C-alpha cells in the first residue's frame, strides 16, 4: 500500500502552490464521497535509499490535498470532510502516514490554531512555513528552531518560486518513508489545562487562540517596520460600494472579452479541423450508413465535445490568476449587497458573468459558492444567460426583423441579453423563494493580501478543469451526438421525385454541377423531413403552432435540442439551401424572409420571428450543459428541473409574445 500524506492548512496559506510544486501534472481530482468537496491527490516521488537500489515507485507516496480550512470544528462541509480524513474515519481515504501542515508565516498566530488541532490527530507532522518573505517585509522574523522544539516536529521554511525548501521536505518524507511511518515522534499537543482552564469558558476557541497567540509570541521576533499599506490602499478603491462595482465590471468585461475573442480562434480551428477530418474520412469511408456514422455521427460528436475546451481552459486560467492575486474575494465582497436582492451571495456573480460566454465553464466555476442551496440556485439559472452559441441564432432572427436598420438591430441584440439576465435573476429569486428556501449565508470571507499571481498554478488548474470536463461530459455528449445522428438519418427514404428529375436533367445538361447540387439539397431536405426527427417534428407541430411556428421550425427546434446553434443549419437544410445557408448568412436570411406557408402567407412574420427569438433566449437547448449540471449536482433531478422550467418559461413567453404581437403587427 502506498503511504498517504495529508496536506492541510488555512485557505490562502499556499497549500495549492506546494501541492502543485510537489506533484505537477501527476494528479487526479474527485469529490469526497457524498459531498461536492473536491479532493486532489497526486503521486510524489521521493529520493531513493542511499545504499539501496529501490525503484522510484516503491519510494513514492500519495499526497492528498485537503480543502483549505480554519479549524476542525466541522462548521462547514470542507471542515467536516477534512476532520474525517485526518481522524481516519473517511471510507475513501482511511489511512494516512503523516500530515504536512502548511502555515502562513505572516499570520502565524491564527495559523497555529489549526496546527494545534492537527497535532491532536496523533500523526507525525511536518510544519511547512510559507510566505516568509511577506512576513519579513512586515518586520516579522520567526525562530523556526524554537517553533520546531515547542511543537516537537520538523519545521521547514519554503519559498516555492525560488525552489527553496522542497528538497528538505522531500528528504524528510523519504526518511519517514523508510521507517514506514512507524514509531515516529508525534507532535506535542497543547496541554489540556491550557485549552480548558477553570471550568472551560463558553468559547472553546478562545483558549486555543490564546495558546496559539502565546506560542507565536514566543517564536516571533518582531521588528518595527512600517506596515505595508498597499493592500489597504487598493482596497479603498476595490471594495468601495461604487468604485468597487465599476472596477469589478471593468475586470469582468475584460475577462469576458478575452474568453469571447481569444477562444474564438482555437474554436474556429477545432471546428475547421474536425470538418476537414470528417470530409477526409467521408472520402475514404464507404458511402453508406457506416461511413455516415463515422463522419457525421462520431466525428461531429467528438468535435462537439472538444470545441468547448478553449472556453473552459481560458476561463479557468484567468479565474485562477484573478483568485491568486486576491482580487476574486474582493469581487464577491462588492457584489454581495447587490446579489442579496435576488437571494444569492456575491460569489454567484462571477459564474453569472462567465455564463455569457458559455454555461458549461460557468457551472463548473460555481464551486466558489459555499452554500449548497445558493450554488444549486445559481446552476439552475445560469443557462438563461445569453451564451456565445445563441449569437448565430440571434443574428439570423434579428436580421430577419430589422434587415436595414442597424440601430434597431443593435437595440434588439441588447434587449436579448437583457431579457436573459432578467429571466435569470427573476428565476433565481423565485427558486430561492420556493424550491430552495432559506436565506443565503451571510457574507464571511477572508480578504488575502494582494500578490502577483502564479502562472503555473493557473495553467495546472485550467488543465485540470479541462480534463474533468472531458472525463465527466465527453462520453455522454458523444453518445447523444450519435443518438441525434440516428434520429435525423433513419428511417431512410426514397429520394424525392424532384431530385430524380433534377438528376435526369443534369445528365443532359452541359454544366450539370448546379443541377446536381440542387438535387443533393433536395435529397438532404427530403431525408431529414422523413427521418424520425421529421416525424417527431410533425407530431409537435400542433404544439408549436400557437407560438407562430410551422413544422419546419419545429424540426429546427427539435434538432437543436442538444445544441441550440444547430437550428441555423437545420433551417438551412429544410429551406433547401443544404449546408450553404450556414456559411452564407445573408442568403439564409433572404430565403427565410421569402419562405411561405402552403397558403402563401409568409412564415417568418414579425410576430413569429420575435416569438422564435424569445424562445431561443429562454429555452434550455444545450445537452452538454445538462450533463455538466448533473455531474456538478450529483443527480439527474436538477438538469431535468432545469430543462422543465426553462422550456416552460420559453414556451409561455413565446406564446404571449406571438399572440400579443399578432394583434398589433403583421
The footprint of other proteins (CB under 8 A) covers: 70-71, 73, 75-76, 79, 106-110, 113, 138, 201-203, 205-206, 209-210, 231-232, 235, 239, 241, 329, 333, 336-337, 441-449
Shortest Å distance, C-beta 145 to other proteins: 22
Q: Residue 117: enclosing H or E segment and its boundaries?
A: helix 108-119
Shortest Å distance, C-beta 75 to other proteins: 4
Q: 243 or 636: whose CB is closer to other proteins?
A: 243
Q: Which residue bears the cell 452541359?
A: 510
φ, ψ at 294 (rounded to 5°): -65, -50
Shortest Å distance, C-beta 336 to other proteins: 6
Strand positions, DSSP E, 48-88: 61-65
Shortest Å distance, C-beta 13 to other proteins: 11
Shortest Å distance, C-beta 210 to other proteins: 7
Q: Which three cell numbers stand for residue 270?
A: 477545432
Q: 235 or 464: whose CB is closer to other proteins?
A: 235
Q: Which residue bears the cell 456575491?
A: 346
Question: Distance between CA 410 and CA 395 in Å, rounded?
Answer: 10
Q: 102 or 603: whose CB is closer to other proteins?
A: 102
Q: 22 or 83: whose CB is closer to other proteins?
A: 83
Q: 91 or 199: whose CB is closer to other proteins?
A: 199
Question: Distance between CA 20 and CA 31 in Å, rounded?
Answer: 18
Shortest Å distance, C-beta 442 to other proteins: 4
Shortest Å distance, C-beta 208 to other proteins: 9
Q: 189 or 340: whose CB is closer to other proteins?
A: 340
Q: Which residue bears the cell 542511499?
A: 50
Shortest Å distance, C-beta 74 to other proteins: 8
Shortest Å distance, C-beta 166 to other proteins: 25
**What number of CA atoms fall less than 13 Å from residue 236's CA on the CB side?**
5
Q: Residue 634: enclosing H or E segment and its boundaries?
A: none
DSSP labels, 363-397: HHGGGG--SHHHHHHHHHHGGGS--GGGHHHHHHH
Q: Under DSSP, is residue 64 helix (H, G, I), strand (E, B) or coil?
A: strand
Question: Distance between CA 223 and CA 70 in Å, rounded?
Answer: 27
Taking phi over 0 as left and psi of -120 to 50 as alpha, with beta for the rest, 122 belongs to left
Q: 246 or 290: whose CB is closer to other proteins?
A: 246
Q: 59 or 84: whose CB is closer to other proteins?
A: 84
Pairing mode, strands 38-44 and 4-9: unpaired
Q: 220 or 416: whose CB is closer to other proteins?
A: 220
Question: Distance between CA 63 and CA 58 in Å, rounded?
Answer: 14
Rounded to 5°, the CA angle 510-515-521 comes to 160
Q: Which three cell numbers stand for residue 522?
A: 433536395
Q: Which three cell numbers stand for residue 313?
A: 481552459
Answer for the pair 189, 120: CB distance below 8 angstroms, yes or no. yes
Shortest Å distance, C-beta 72 to other proteins: 9
Q: 65 or 79: whose CB is closer to other proteins?
A: 79
Q: Under DSSP, is residue 120 helix (H, G, I), strand (E, B) or coil?
A: coil
Would you tell me how many other CB atoms lie within 10 Å of the CB of residue 217? Answer: 11
Amino acid at each position: 500500500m502506498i503511504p498517504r500524506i495529508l496536506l492541510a492548512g488555512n485557505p490562502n496559506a499556499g497549500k495549492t502552490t506546494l501541492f502543485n510544486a510537489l506533484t505537477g501534472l501527476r494528479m487526479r481530482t474527485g469529490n469526497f464521497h457524498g459531498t461536492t468537496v473536491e479532493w486532489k491527490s497526486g503521486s510524489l516521488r521521493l529520493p531513493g535509499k542511499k545504499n539501496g537500489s529501490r525503484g522510484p515507485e516503491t519510494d513514492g507516496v500519495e499526497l492528498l490535498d485537503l480543502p483549505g480550512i480554519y479549524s476542525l470544528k466541522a462548521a462547514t462541509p470542507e471542515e467536516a470532510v477534512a476532520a474525517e480524513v485526518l481522524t481516519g474515519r473517511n471510507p475513501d481515504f482511511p489511512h494516512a502516514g503523516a500530515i504536512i501542515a502548511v502555515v502562513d508565516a505572516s499570520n502565524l498566530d491564527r495559523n497555529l490554531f489549526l496546527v494545534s488541532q492537527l497535532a491532536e490527530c496523533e500523526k507525525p507532522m511536518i510544519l511547512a512555513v510559507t510566505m516568509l518573505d511577506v512576513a519579513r517585509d512586515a518586520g516579522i522574523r520567526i525562530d523556526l528552531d524554537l517553533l520546531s522544539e515547542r511543537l516537537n516536529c520538523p519545521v521547514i521554511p519554503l519559498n516555492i518560486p525560488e525552489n527553496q525548501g522542497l528538497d528538505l521536505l522531500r528528504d524528510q518524507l523519504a526518511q519517514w518513508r523508510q521507517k514506514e511511518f512507524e514509531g515516529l515522534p508525534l507532535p506535542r499537543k497543547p496541554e489540556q489545562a491550557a485549552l480548558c482552564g477553570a471550568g472551560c469558558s463558553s468559547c472553546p476557541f478562545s483558549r486555543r487562540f490564546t495558546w496559539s497567540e502565546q506560542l507565536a509570541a514566543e517564536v516571533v521576533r518582531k521588528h518595527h517596520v512600517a506596515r505595508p499599506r498597499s493592500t489597504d490602499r487598493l482596497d479603498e478603491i476595490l471594495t468601495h460600494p461604487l468604485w468597487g462595482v465599476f472596477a469589478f465590471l471593468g475586470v469582468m468585461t475584460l475577462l469576458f472579452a478575452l474568453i469571447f475573442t481569444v477562444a474564438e480562434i482555437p474554436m474556429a480551428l477545432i471546428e475547421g479541423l474536425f470538418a476537414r477530418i470528417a470530409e477526409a474520412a467521408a472520402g475514404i469511408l464507404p458511402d453508406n450508413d457506416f461511413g455516415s456514422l463515422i463522419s457525421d455521427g462520431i466525428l461531429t460528436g467528438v468535435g462537439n465535445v472538444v470545441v468547448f475546451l478553449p472556453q473552459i481552459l481560458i476561463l479557468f486560467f484567468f479565474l485562477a490568476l484573478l483568485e491568486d492575486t486576491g482580487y476574486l474575494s474582493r469581487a464577491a465582497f462588492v457584489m454581495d449587497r447587490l446579489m442579496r436582492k435576488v437571494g444569492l451571495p456575491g460569489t454567484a456573480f462571477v459564474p453569472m458573468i462567465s455564463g455569457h460566454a458559455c454555461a458549461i465553464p460557468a457551472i463548473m466555476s460555481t464551486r466558489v459558492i459555499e452554500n449548497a442551496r445558493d450554488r444549486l440556485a445559481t446552476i439552475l439559472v445560469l443557462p438563461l444567460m445569453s451564451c456565445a452559441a445563441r449569437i448565430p441564432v440571434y443574428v439570423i432572427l434579428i436580421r430577419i426583423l430589422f434587415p436595414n436598420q442597424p440601430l434597431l438591430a443593435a437595440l434588439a441584440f441588447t434587449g436579448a441579453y437583457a431579457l436573459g439576465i432578467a429571466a435569470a435573476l427573476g428565476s433565481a429569486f423565485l427558486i430561492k423563494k420556493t424550491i430552495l428556501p432559506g436565506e443565503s449565508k451571510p457574507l464571511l470571507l477572508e480578504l488575502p493580501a494582494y500578490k502577483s499571481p502564479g502562472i503555473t498554478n493557473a495553467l495546472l488548474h485550467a488543465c485540470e478543469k479541462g480534463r474533468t470536463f472531458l472525463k465527466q461530459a465527453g462520453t455522454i455528449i458523444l453518445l447523444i451526438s450519435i443518438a441525434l445522428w440516428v434520429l435525423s438519418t433513419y428511417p431512410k427514404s426514397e429520394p424525392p421525385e424532384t431530385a430524380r428529375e433534377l438528376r435526369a436533367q443534369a445528365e443532359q445538361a452541359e454544366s450539370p454541377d448546379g443541377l446536381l447540387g440542387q438535387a443533393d439539397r433536395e435529397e438532404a431536405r427530403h431525408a431529414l423531413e422523413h427521418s424520425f426527427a421529421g416525424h417527431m417534428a410533425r407530431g409537435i407541430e400542433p404544439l408549436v403552432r400557437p407560438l407562430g411556428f410551422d413544422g419546419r421550425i419545429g424540426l429546427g427546434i427539435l434538432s437543436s435540442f442538444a445544441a441550440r446553434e444547430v437550428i441555423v443549419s437545420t433551417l438551412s437544410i429544410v429551406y433547401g439551401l443544404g449546408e450553404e445557408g450556414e456559411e452564407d448568412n445573408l442568403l439564409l436570411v433572404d430565403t427565410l424572409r421569402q419562405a411561405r406557408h402552403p397558403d402563401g402567407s409568409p412564415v417568418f412574420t414579425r410576430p413569429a420571428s420575435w416569438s422564435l427569438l424569445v424562445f431561443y433566449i429562454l429555452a434550455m437547448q444545450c445537452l452538454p450543459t445538462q450533463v455538466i449540471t448533473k455531474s456538478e449536482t450529483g443527480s439527474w433531478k436538477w438538469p431535468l428541473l432545469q430543462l422543465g422550467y426553462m422550456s416552460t418559461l420559453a414556451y409561455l413567453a413565446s406564446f404571449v409574445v406571438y399572440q400579443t404581437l399578432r394583434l398589433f403587427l403583421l
